[in-house]
Amino acid sequence: MVTARRVLMLTLTVLAFVAATAVAQMPQTTTQQIPGAPVVTTQKLHGVVVLIEGNNVVVKQSNGELKTIRNVPESKRIMVDGKEVGIHDLQVGTQLTATTTTTTTPITTRTVTVGSGQVRAVSGDTVVLLLPNGDMKTYKVKPDYKFMVDGKEASVYELRPGMTVSAQKITEEPSVEVSANTVVTGHVPPPPPAPAPAPVAEPAPTAAPAPVEAPKKLPKTGSPVPLEGLLGFAFVAGAYAIRKFRG
């Protein structure tokens, strides 16, 4: 009974060692993202709201072109004259300024794979390795590349058939990460002043009536007698003339 238990324990130990060795021989891969120096740019756009329909806004830009902003979310808030307003509170004629800050960050994705293999053949800078999964791979190695053999570094020229080596494979893939943030502010211009009323023409001044001369009066010392004598003289002269004309 004791012997059987010892045999079982020994078998489990061997299996654990084999499993650990197999895991150790499996390629180990780690990935790391290394960010570079970010580049920040800022762009400002100006425009005037000319139409609002539902959640769509049409803006006339400073260059005269019309731009349609579609499906503005209900949660979007715009700072207009110091107050936050939603899409449905926006007014036609509001002057908008959109400030977009774009951050561009270069990213290098570095993948390091550590694997092991048994050297099967070496020729110059080329080595043939038998990998743990049974595949046989041929590698052309840079002269300055270092393998690990029994915890020590060794170049490809120092390798010999039968050695177990571990090596790192490093790959780097560049990419760009872009993030943008847009802040929109607005201003409602005051209404234009009302036009001044048209001047009212003043009536032309009325001409003053011409003064009427008072009738002349005879002096108080006058008498109708001389007038009667004059008339009598006229009648006499007329009668004389008629007689003479008849004769």
* For the chain, domain boundaries: 39-107+179-187
Give me the chain's average pLDDT, please. 78
| Res. 207 pLDDT band, cuts 50 70 90 | low
Measured distance CA(78)–CA(90) in Å, rounded: 9
172/139 Cα distance (integer angstroms): 19
More confident residue, 170 or 16: 170
Contact 161, 121 (CB under 8 A): yes
**In whole angstroms, what is the distance from residue 31 CA to residue 199 CA?**
84
- The helices-and-strands tally (H runs, E runs) of the chain is 2, 12
Mean pLDDT of 7-16: 44
Q: Say what the pTM is.
A: 0.49
CA dist., res. 138 & res. 141, Å (int): 10
pLDDT value of residue 27: 65
Give the pair of three-digit tokens for residue 177.
């990460």
Residue located via tokens 């499996």: 26
Per-residue pLDDT, averaged over 132-152, amounts to: 89
User: For residue 100, what pLDDT band results from cuts at 50, 70 and 90?
Assistant: very high
Report the relative pairing of strands 164-187 and 39-53 from DSSP bridges.
unpaired
Select the more confidently predicted residue: 241 or 119: 119
The CATH number corresponding to 39-107+179-187 among 2.40.50, 3.40.50, 3.30.1490, 3.30.70 equals 2.40.50
